[in-house]
Copies of this chain bind each other. A is one copy, B any other.
Amino acid sequence: FLFGIEILLRPTSSTALIYRCHGEPSQVTLKLPPLRSTSVLVKMLAAPINPSDINMIQGTYAILPDLPAVGGNEGVGQVIEVGIEVKTIKVGDWVIPRDAGLGMWQTAVVLSADDLVTVPSDIPVLSAATLGVNPCTALRMLSDFEDLKPGDTVIQNAANSAVGQAVIQIAAAKGVQTVNVVRDRPNLQKLTDGLKAMGATCVITEETLRRPEMKEIFKSYPRPKLALNGVGGKSATELLRHLQSGGTMVTYGGMAKQPVTVPVSALIFKNVKIRGFWVTQWKRDHKHDDEALHSMLEELCTLIRTGKLSSPACTQVGMLDFHKALHSAMKPYTSMKQVLVM
């Protein structure tokens, strides 16, 4: 049966969203290269549009592929054919990329087996497509900087981002409380209810974060050991004010396009630690540590299977509608993750 599928579905070309210069991609048909002994042919199933994908196309990201390049840094595909030397991946497996810059916005792709990692196919396809960047970022930040115990508190801004939502759910599963900061908006109560349903301990606005009443909140929970910053600027400085002595603030994004400003006294007398996290670097640093990668993905998939971790609300878009999807992804206050389905 699998052999049948292999023959029937084997594509010879791929419909891809490529960009020849920094700006916007266009849809082209690419001839797939022949399969080498160490390669894998993958039929893509779904690939999200993340902020870093857009920054990469615009040429403002930290790593930029040689042009022309296919857009998209994550996504899930099903393996159609494997080279004769490939041992780690079988036909029918679901796979996600191990690194950024591999070009996931296409209907089929031939990649080295080393560039792919298998994921279980018993989780929703949208969860698999969005597993490798944001939930991994959330899990690592909750695991690698402070030793969080049940009852401890984490404070974060950008709480409604894909990372923020994953932080809420993973923390809740660990019994860790989250103080979640979001920007004020018309539908704030709905957003608050949604985040609380995910497990958020409390949800406050950026304005509340700056007010003296914040002290009241930390009468109910211990002061945070860990602050997660996806914004920068004033929001980051405010998070810092509430951190306990010796705590850590981890920056993973800079939505406000402003640097992180740290009072000298917080460093010297409160011993706060200011760090950064980039999941792509983590994956590169652990390239030869499959155990670490698999155990992280397994932990996330267990949370997904038990209903404790869901992907952000997604809008599924066909490849032909990519222009609309890109523009929707760039709108402020967007809560819907745009996902290309192939």
B residues in contact with A271, CB < 8 Å: 275-276, 278, 281
Q: A273-B275, A276-B271 are in contact. Are A261 and B264 (CB under 8 A)?
A: no
- A269, B261: Cα distance in complex, Å: 17
Q: Contact between A259 and B259 (Cβ–Cβ < 8 Å)?
A: no
Task: Please measure, in the bound complex, the distance between the C-alpha atom of A203 and the C-alpha atom of B272, giving whole angstroms.
Answer: 30
Other-chain residue from B261, B269, B278 in contact with A259 (beta carbon distance below 8 A): B261
Question: Interface on chain A toward B: helix, strand, loop, or mixed SS?
Answer: mixed
A271-B276, A271-B278, A274-B274 as given contacts; A232 in contact with B264, CB under 8 Å: yes
A30 within 8 A of B: no
Given known contacts A251-B267, A262-B262, A265-B254, A276 and B281 CB-to-CB distance under 8 angstroms: no
Copy number in the complex reads 2
Tell me how far the C-beta of A218 lies from the nearest C-beta in chain B, rounded to whole angstroms: 20
CA distance A269 to B61 in the complex (A): 10
A7 within 8 A of B: no
Task: Tally A residues with Cβ within 8 Å of B.
Answer: 28
Contact B274 A262 (CB under 8 A): yes
A9 in the interface, Cβ–Cβ < 8 Å? no
**Known contacts A273-B274, A273-B275, A274-B273, A260 near B268 by CB under 8 Å:** no
A241-270 vs B, CB cutoff 8 Å, 1 = contact: the mask equals 000000000011110001111111111111
Q: A19 at interface (Cβ–Cβ under 8 A)?
A: no
| CB contact between A265 and one of B62, B266, B268 (< 8 Å): that residue | B62
Q: Tell me how far the C-beta of A145 lies from the nearest C-beta in chain B, rounded to whole angstroms.
A: 11
Contact A260-B265, Cβ < 8 Å, known A271-B276, A274-B273, A281-B271:
no
Whole-angstrom distance between the alpha carbons of A252 and B271 in the complex?
A: 10
Least CB distance, A306 to chain B, in whole angstroms:
31
A251-B267, A259-B263, A271-B278 known; 19 new pairs, CB 8 Å cut-off, are A62-B268, A232-B264, A251-B268, A252-B268, A253-B264, A253-B268, A254-B264, A254-B265, A258-B264, A259-B261, A260-B267, A264-B276, A266-B276, A267-B274, A268-B277, A269-B276, A270-B276, A271-B281, A273-B274
Q: List 20 A-B contacts (CB under 8 A).
A: A232-B264, A251-B264, A251-B267, A253-B264, A253-B268, A258-B264, A259-B261, A259-B263, A260-B261, A260-B263, A261-B262, A262-B262, A262-B274, A264-B276, A268-B278, A269-B278, A271-B276, A273-B273, A273-B275, A274-B275
